[in-house]
Amino acid sequence: MKVLIVGGVAGGASAAARLRRLDEKAEIILFEKGEYISFANCGLPYYIGGEIEQQSALTLQTPQSFRRRFNIDVRVRNEVVGLDTQRKCVKVRDLRDGSEYQESYDELILSPGAAPIIPPLEGVEDERVFTLRSIPDSVRIKNHINQAHPASAVVIGGGYIGVEMAENLAKAGVNVTIVEMADHLIAPLDVDMAAEVHRYIQDQGVGLMLKNGVQAIEPGKDGLKLRLSKGQLEADMVILSVGVKPDTSLARQAGLKTNGRGAILVDEHMRTSAEHVYAVGDAVEIQDFVTGKAGYVPLAGPANKQGRIAADNICGIPSRYKGTQGSSVLKIFDMTVAMTGINERTAQEAWLDYDKSFTFSQSHASYYPGAHGMSIKTLYEKGSGRILGAQIVGYDGVDKRIDVLATAIRAQMTAFDLTELELCYAPPFGSAKDPVNFVGYAIENVLTGKVKTFHWHDIARLPKDGSVTLLDVRTPTERAAGHIEGFIHIPLDELRNRVDELDRNKPVYIHCHSGLRSYLACRMLSGLGFDCYNLSGGWRLYECVVNDRRAVEHGCYDPN
């Protein structure tokens, strides 16, 4: 059996290694138009920022080591420029001398990955404008910083790579501003969870310009001038990070079926519309694990799994890819941002009957030094309580909580199941009631009717005519630091003795700092005959989101 693989890195390299483990006699040829077949593209920003000191650390396998270990014919600087699915052959161009040749196959795996989107902007060709997708890209950026010593940089795009680049440029001593057309950073996050990220990243000295776009880049001798949809910026260098697109020109020229975005259509076995041709990684359309709908999620984890699955099926093992849930984690200075499953936008587009819960928990036992709070947003299906998605913003321990919730989603677990999870506990690492357990408890309380909730965006719609009671149960010190207009103040510890100040005939909407004490107040008042609603996430979430939205709408993030 002769198998050709077009493209290395996550999908192609994983497929090649799996094929060899399953079939020692197969002839396997891997083509890569670049110089590297397996490298840590997620580590590229950290090489620029100096966290990863040696360029060699980014290379997971060299062509030579791959050949020695797996007996695979690795051909770097060889670009596949033509595909004939009828004759089962490809045309290859050797980029070192321009010569071309043909290679036949029994089975073919396409793993061309994705390419950076280059917007059609005036001035984008300037040598001080960079993209980041490969090791050579990172070397060019690092060399420019070391040689030109830029004082300022603009990152166009606030996705994963854009935010990581902003952090690492700042660590390299560059003054950085992120320009993002959307109203928040990191598209998979919901706006209410992004608000805390915005506040933190600005505290680290990174500028933000949201709901703003770059119209043109005007090169000058002393720097670059960026004309924006609102205002302008000057910088010594620019990083383009507006997203990626599937690099599928070869597949489309060969007549393989693709979607409107250009991603290759595959079945659950990673087979394309052409017989004996498979496709994996950032070039393919995926099925969302939660909604079952088609999507595009370019992540290394799914690419590795898909490469393995394609290899399995070529070797007669009927493996299936069961969907992508978008589990991801992001480091922003000392902050960790993580997510899995769907966000609210996706839930609404899929017409799911869902609700949400906001909880705030410590990373480990609060009495043990070094505990940090983490904000958790969880989406769940009404009625069943099935977990649909989760987002966490915090510091220590975020990654392990999102991994538990990612596992819960994959296993179709409910909030009731989360309450029963027996998770590791010792004071330096967690609490006897883990933050994941608390997510389950909070949702269970709603599903079983122990409490009713309202959310930060509901407050503006609450009647102010006296027909409802708005109650703040925080301490006087907390109240003095800021409050929601119209909420009367009775501290929780005084509530029992002052309950006669409240009208039992009126619904009571209660908030505290994070939602825990107001839950206790709700249980207390419910037991006394009141109809109570608890503000999920409390004052801390409300204040952060409302001020963030106000800043975005009024352009307060804009330094001009």
Q: Does the pLDDT at position 363 exceed 70?
A: yes
Q: What secondary structure, in 3-state letters, does 327-349 show?
A: CEEEEECCEEEEEEECCHHHHHH
Q: What is the mean pLDDT of residues 301-330?
A: 96
Confidence of residue 34 (pLDDT cuts 50, 70, 90): confident
Q: Does the pLDDT at position 559 exceed 60?
A: no
Q: Which residue has the higher pLDDT, 414 or 42?
A: 414
- Residue 556's pLDDT is what? 67
Which tens digit of pLDDT belongs to each residue from 48-90? Answer: 777 777 776 666 667 788 888 899 999 999 999 999 999 999 9
User: Is 42 among the residues known to form the active site?
Assistant: yes
Q: Does the pLDDT at position 135 exceed 80?
A: no
pTM of the predicted protein model = 0.93
Mean pLDDT is lowest, of 25-39, 338-352, 426-440, for 25-39
DSSP class of residue 272 equals -
Q: Average per-residue pLDDT in the chain? A: 93
Q: Which residue has the higher pLDDT, 220 or 478?
A: 478
Which tens digit of pLDDT belongs to each residue from 239-276? Answer: 999 889 999 999 999 999 999 999 999 999 999 999 99
Question: Catalytic pick from 42, 522, 532, 556?
Answer: 42
Give 108-167 as a DSSP string: EEE---EEE-----BTTTSTTEEE-SSHHHHHHHHHHHHHH--SEEEEE--SHHHHHHHH
Q: For residue 140, with 0-12 CB atoms within 10 Å meaning exposed, 13-18 middle and 19 or more buried, which class applies? A: middle
Mean pLDDT is lowest, of 104-113, 115-124, 267-276, 372-381, for 115-124
Q: Which of 158, 235, 232, 246 is nearest to 202 (CA)?
A: 158
Integer Cα distance of 516 and 480 in angstroms: 20
- Residue 68's pLDDT is what? 87
How large is the C-alpha radius of gyration of the chain?
27
Amino acid making up residue 44: L
Residue 430 is encoded by which pair of tokens? 């967690």
Return the SS3 of 374.
strand
Confidence of residue 40 (pLDDT cuts 50, 70, 90): low
- Residue 554's pLDDT is what? 79
Half-sphere exposure of 531 (CA within 13 A, CB side): 6
Q: What is the mean pLDDT of residues 488-517?
A: 96
Q: What is the mean pLDDT of residues 507-513?
A: 97
Q: For residue 395, which phi and psi values (nearest 5 degrees)? A: -130, -105
